Amino acid sequence: MNIVTKNAPHLRRPNATVVRMMRDVSIALTPLIVFAIYQHGVDALLILLAAVLSMVATEYVYYQIKDFMERKREAKSETEEKIRELNWQKKEKKKALKEKTQKAREDYEAFMKDYEQRMASLRETLKEENRAAKKSDNKSFRLANRSFTIYNFTIITSGLIYGLTLPDTIPLSKVIVGGVVGALLAKLVFGGMGQNIFNPAAFARVFVVLSFGAALSYEAFVDADAGATAMSVLNEQMFNAGVVDNYDYWMLFSGIGLPGSLGETSALLILVGGIYLAARRSFDIVVPITYIGTVFLLSLTVMFTQDLGFWFPAVHVLGGGLLFGAVFMATDPITSPVTRPGRIYFAFGLGVLTFLIRLFGNLPEGVVFAILIMNMFVPALDYAKWAKSRFTVRSVLVFSIVVVLAIVITNVGVYYVA
């Protein structure tokens, strides 16, 4: 038995692990996956598999290459350099011999006297080193593998979320390209887990929309005959109640028979997942509440000023990817601020952006764009000089003013557009 010393605290919370947190998200997604497969059949399964596998494979390949290059760099040892140097000296001395001076001959002889011996000993060290390197190679290989986040479910979760935001008609090749780009550009180039600024799933999704825009324009996004998503209908004829007559509230809520992306349609199952995550405290519930609350509030005020029915806020909250994005994407801890007030501002910003993009942008899906945009503001929200763990009187005042401003600007904007 050995007595060791460590710095306090000497205990750690037993159930606080990254794998628990990320696994919980995957578990919360499971009902949605089942529902997606039930609704869309094998297509959904294939899309999800492609989304997850493309991300996992990208990460795997990336770390293998990185590991390989690292080992290469380490392999160029000092001893090798010395051997090269010694050989070079020998060559130089030999060259000098050709001039047939006394000095050169003496020099050469002096050099050659222990040349063999030195060379032999260097070779011996090199062999030793290589042997040792082989051993540590195994270790460094394991180290590289540890950064591979399949072990803590992070990459699987990203892949699943990405897959669930896709429509069921998307070709698999596009899913894969999006997955590779999302994992690589949004996560790996930033330095892997914990370092990324953008949510990889949102990034991949936006990439797919932007680069295959033609193929995925919203007419084609879902089959025109099967009906567009509730959101895209709404976007085209924004304030015309007739268009949503096709969908009753139960349909909007349960998602059964509703067209749209694989995982975004069933508000009910998303709420189930959200409640599970909240009960396990694997995310901070204020984020989805603020996000959804903001969109609801804004659409409610628009409802009053434009004299629309209650279908308007209901469709905004239940339709489209809002609930899914709020519960599963906006809560990604890595790409959100680290203080409670910061997270509330973040979620509020998401709500406003989502609503504005939906109304004034040409895209019915504001959620993923809003997430990427707000991701860029995270460092500002976390800036050491003003980020505080608690609300202060001043921050509440400023925040209230911003809320009022957002409401006013939205309504004025709507007034001019409508």
Partner 1 sequence: MITNSRRVKDYKQLDRELPTLRHVDPDYIYINLQNARAKEYTLDVEVGDHVKLGEILGRRKGKFFEQPIYSTVSGVIEGRTNKYHSSGDEVECLIVRNDFKDTYHESITDRPDSVIEQFTQEDFVEIIKEKGLVGLGGSGFPSYIKLNTDKDIHTVVINAVECEPYLSSDYRLIKDQPEDIFRGLTYLMRAVDATRGVIAVKKTKKELVEVLEREISRFSDWNIQIATLDDFYPQGWENMTFENAVGIKVPVGTLPMEYGILGFNVSTTASVYEAVKHNLPIIKRHLTVNGDAVNFPQDIRARVGTSVRELIELSDGYTDEEKVEVIVGGPMMGESIESDDIVVTQTTTSILVLKSVDYVEEPCVRCASCVYACPVDIQPVQIMNAVKREDKESARALEADKCIECGLCAYVCTSKIHVTDYVREAMKMLR
CB of 55 to partner 1, least distance (A): 17
Calculate the alpha carbon distances from 202 to 5, 56, 158, 181 in Å: 45, 16, 9, 11
Nearer to partner 1, 1 or 393 (CB): 1
Residues within the interface to partner 1 (CB under 8 A): 1-18, 20-21, 152, 192-195, 280-285, 333-334, 336, 338-340, 343, 382, 384-385, 387-390
CB of 6 to partner 1, least distance (A): 5
Identity of the residue numbered 335: T
Nearer to partner 1, 6 or 73 (CB): 6
Nearest Cα residue to 196 out of 84, 316, 333: 333
Structural tokens at position 43: 């297509």
Identity of the residue numbered 343: R
CB of 231 to partner 1, least distance (A): 30
CB of 4 to partner 1, least distance (A): 5
Identity of the residue numbered 37: I
Nearest Cα residue to 357 out of 400, 403, 316: 316
- The upper half-sphere exposure of residue 180, i.e. CA atoms within 13 Å in the direction of its Cβ, equals 9
- Dist CA 33 CA 28 (whole Å): 10
- For 381, other C-beta atoms within 10 Å of its C-beta total 20
CB of 392 to partner 1, least distance (A): 11
CB of 81 to partner 1, least distance (A): 33
CA angle (299, 289, 390) in 5-degree steps? 120
What's the DSSP call for residue 49?
Answer: H
CB of 186 to partner 1, least distance (A): 15
Q: What does the DSSP assignment read for 254-307?
A: H-TT--SBTTTS-HHHHHHHHHHHHHTT-S-THHHHHHHHHHHHHHHHHHHHHT
What's the DSSP call for residue 338?
Answer: S
What's the DSSP call for residue 222?
Answer: S
Nearer to partner 1, 6 or 76 (CB): 6
Nearer to partner 1, 55 or 359 (CB): 55
Calculate the alpha carbon distances from 158 to 1, 233, 309, 329, 366 in Å: 44, 28, 37, 9, 19
Nearer to partner 1, 151 or 239 (CB): 151
Nearer to partner 1, 72 or 390 (CB): 390
Length of the chain: 418
Cross-strand bridge partners of residue 241: none
CB of 192 to partner 1, least distance (A): 7
CB of 193 to partner 1, least distance (A): 5
Nearer to partner 1, 239 or 399 (CB): 399
Nearer to partner 1, 328 or 355 (CB): 328
Secondary structure class of 153 (helix, strand, coil): coil
CA 5 to chain centre: 39
Nearer to partner 1, 10 or 103 (CB): 10
